[in-house]
Amino acid sequence: MSRLAIIDYDRCQPKKCAMECIKYCPGVRMGEETIVMDESLGKPVISEELCSGCGICTKRCPFNAISIIGLPEELSEDKIVHSYGKNRFRLYGLVVPREGVVGILGPNGVGKSTILRILSGELIPNLGKLDEEPSYDKVIKHFAGTELQNYFEKLKNKEIKVIHKVQYVDVLPKVVKGKVIDILKRIDEKEKLDEIIEKLDLKNILDRELSQLSGGELQRVAIAAACLRKGDVYYFDEPTSWLDVKQRFNAARTIRELDGHVVVVEHDLIVLDYLSDYIHIVYGVPSAYGIVSHPRGVRVGINAYLDGHLKEENIKFRKEPIKFEKRPPLDTSNRPLLLKYSKMSKALDGFKLEVEGGEIYKGEVIGILGPNGIGKTTFVKLLAKIIEPDEGNVEGDIKISYKPQYITPDYDGTVEELLSSITNINSSYYKSEIIKPLQLEKLLDMNVKDLSGGELQRVAIAACLSKDADVYLIDEPSAFLDVEQRLSVSKVIRRMADEKEAAMFVVDHDILFQDYISDRFIVFSGEPGRYGKGSSPMNKRDGANIFLKEMGITFRRDPDTGRPRANKEGSQRDLYQKEIGEYYYVDE
């Protein structure tokens, strides 16, 4: 086995420690320069050649900044495509753009965005040669005899035009100014402006400044901008973030219709499945290294990812496969009633919400479905008694814990201090049920204000579930999370519902996540921004049928994994299910 020694320089703080990594390293004690201070960095550097892999430095580091990771022998130095520096992240392998849509699937932190930056020409890969200036001539020689040789030759000679829709669309107003319509007119190289406006439902925001748009509106404008430009290869990094279900499928249809090669990074498995023709799985250790698999057909690729086993490469990257077991419909006859609310209404700033009354039972998870701007969050706030209804009420004195949709890191302190202010986080139960599955171990000593979007989301979920409550209201828990994290969160929420005999209301746009987690659905419909109507809680099949019929989408079950899959629009299966009125799925 060869080794990677990875130092997280954001966490490493030599001025606040006793340099335990150097002090306790057996190699250093024997006079070897296994770990030395780099004066230019002001941080320690570990020699991977001299490192014995004992792991003492990882245990002694007070900031959990060091990881020593064993690598398969075949991942030698000459297989590195790009390295961010000594003891930093390394990428092994690349994706090859091809006819159709190529999907990239993998956890956060294993190099998916790095792959897009390399292929779009924004980053010349250094092939792991940190002391040499990277160049396309070296890259072309490295990939000699492969499809990537031809691709990089064209990229070097500017013979292909690349369009890249970046991951973080919230930065766009800082670099682009003006009204939406003016910006899109300027870049409309295909003269398809009206068509794209219609497909992505942009009519209502055309006269607004980019700086006035929400995350979902910015996302749709960014997708429109990419689709309006003439290109040979299009790269889309997480195009569904902030979008509701209808918007996600509208975006997916629009992207699929592009002329040219398309590569997409996406965490919503149903949208990725619907959108892609091929899948590359990227696996490894987040922030340490990433390995790109061979391409597979979309169904086989996603199933291999859920199985955690790449048979052709003889690689197993997850201990247990992920299965979507069909649960029988919830039997409420033997469950105690927990919450009852009457028909409620609320008028807010020109928006009117009406919700049918319902009864909620102990230990159940209620999935809330509906487009953006239809009143789902307002309903959650009515249940939480954050706002009062104009008519109707929530009966009884119910203790409620609420995780809002938009999380602001306004707590001044560490994650450990935040969670400790709510409950005893040192109990073995809390560590096994919350800390470990939500991957919070390395975040405990970090300041809440320094967390990324995904880290903050997991901490907010933990904080919500740590409170003693009868009802937990969790708004968009899958935002910023990768597939693995979404499934881990869903398992935690389900276990907490069972063990606390509490009820969970979950608002989310990831249908696979909702299907996996929910016992019943509440479905919202109406006209976004003007009028919303929420149903009473109904069984999953009825609720999903109503919701999907409104979306115009039909689903089937994958026979191997049980996961829901969207039928291609106009396919024989799609037309048949629409004809018989079964939009959710038909039992095989």
Q: Encode pLDDT of 218-240 as tens digits.
A: 999 999 999 999 999 999 999 99
β strands within 349-430, DSSP E = 351-355, 358-361, 365-369, 400-403
Helix (H, G, I), strand (E, B) or coil at 270: helix
Query: Is it the case that residue 1 has pLDDT exceeding 60?
Result: no
Contact between residue 416 and residue 440 where contact means Cβ atoms under 8 Å apart: no
Q: Sign (positive/negative) of CA torsion 563, 287, 8, 68?
A: positive
Distances 306 to 7, 108, 289, 561 between C-alpha atoms, Å? 29, 16, 20, 8
Helix (H, G, I), strand (E, B) or coil at 226: helix
Give the tens place of pLDDT for each residue, 555-586: 998 888 888 899 988 899 999 999 999 998 76
Give the tens place of pLDDT for each residue, 377-392: 899 889 888 899 999 9
Give 352's pLDDT tier (boundaries 50, 70, 90). very high
Distances 364 to 335, 377, 546 between C-alpha atoms, Å? 9, 19, 21
d(CA 458, CA 487): 12
Give the tens place of pLDDT for each residue, 105-116: 999 999 999 999
Contact between residue 252 and residue 227 where contact means Cβ atoms under 8 Å apart: no
Q: Across residues 480-489, what is the average pLDDT?
A: 90
pTM of this prediction?
Answer: 0.86
Give 93's pLDDT tier (boundaries 50, 70, 90). very high
Between these two residues, 442 and 296, which has the higher pLDDT value? 296
Give the closest residue to 305 by CA, choosing from 512, 84, 114, 90.
512
Residue 550: half-sphere exposure toward Cβ, Cα within 13 Å: 16
Mean pLDDT, all residues of the chain: 90
Q: Across residues 469-485, what is the average pLDDT?
A: 91
pLDDT of residue 409: 79
Beta bridge partners of 360: 339
Helix (H, G, I), strand (E, B) or coil at 513: helix
β strands within 496-560, DSSP E = 503-507, 520-527, 531-534, 538-539, 555-557
Query: Is it the case that residue 184 has pLDDT exceeding 90?
Result: yes
Give the closest residue to 562 by CA, choosing from 321, 235, 358, 237.
321
Helix (H, G, I), strand (E, B) or coil at 339: strand
Helix (H, G, I), strand (E, B) or coil at 423: coil
Length, in residues, of the chain = 588
Query: Is it the case that residue 74 has pLDDT exceeding 60?
Result: no
d(CA 11, CA 44): 12
Helices 245-256 and 215-228: crossing angle in degrees, nearest 10, is 10
Helix (H, G, I), strand (E, B) or coil at 284: strand
Q: Is 161 exposed, middle or buried (0-12, 13-18, 19+ CB in 10 A)?
A: middle
Helix (H, G, I), strand (E, B) or coil at 450: helix
pLDDT of residue 588: 47
Q: Across residues 503-520, what is the average pLDDT?
A: 91
pLDDT of residue 532: 94
Q: Across residues 309-331, what is the average pLDDT?
A: 77
Contact between residue 507 and residue 556 where contact means Cβ atoms under 8 Å apart: no
Percentage above 70 pLDDT, the chain: 96
| 97 contact partners, CB below 8 Å, separation of at least 6 | 119, 151, 233, 261, 262, 263
Helix (H, G, I), strand (E, B) or coil at 430: helix
Residue 42: half-sphere exposure toward Cβ, Cα within 13 Å: 6
Distances 524 to 180, 251, 548, 573 between C-alpha atoms, Å? 29, 21, 12, 26
Give the tens place of pLDDT for each residue, 2-26: 677 889 888 888 988 999 999 999 9
Give 295's pLDDT tier (boundaries 50, 70, 90). very high
Helix (H, G, I), strand (E, B) or coil at 327: coil
| 420 contact partners, CB below 8 Å, separation of at least 6 | none
Q: Which two tokens stand for residue 248?
A: 């996600």
Q: Across residues 129-156, what is the average pLDDT?
A: 94
Give the tens place of pLDDT for each residue, 529-552: 899 999 999 999 899 999 999 888
The CA R_g of the chain, rounded to the nearest whole Å, is 25
pLDDT of residue 586: 67
Contact between residue 497 and residue 464 where contact means Cβ atoms under 8 Å apart: no
Q: Across residues 125-132, what is the average pLDDT?
A: 92
Q: What is the largest CA-CA distance in the chain?
A: 77
Q: Which two tokens stand for residue 483?
A: 């597939």
Alpha helices in 257-398 (DSSP H): 269-275, 298-307, 376-383
Q: Across residues 358-373, what is the average pLDDT?
A: 92
Q: Is 203 exposed, middle or buried (0-12, 13-18, 19+ CB in 10 A)?
A: exposed
pLDDT of residue 391: 94
Contact between residue 136 and residue 150 where contact means Cβ atoms under 8 Å apart: no
d(CA 52, CA 45): 15
pLDDT of residue 72: 64
What are the structural domains, with CATH classification, of the chain? 3-70 (3.30.70.20), 82-316 (3.40.50.300), 337-538 (3.40.50.300), 552-587 (no CATH)
* Distance in angstroms between the alpha carbons of the first and the last residue of the chain: 46
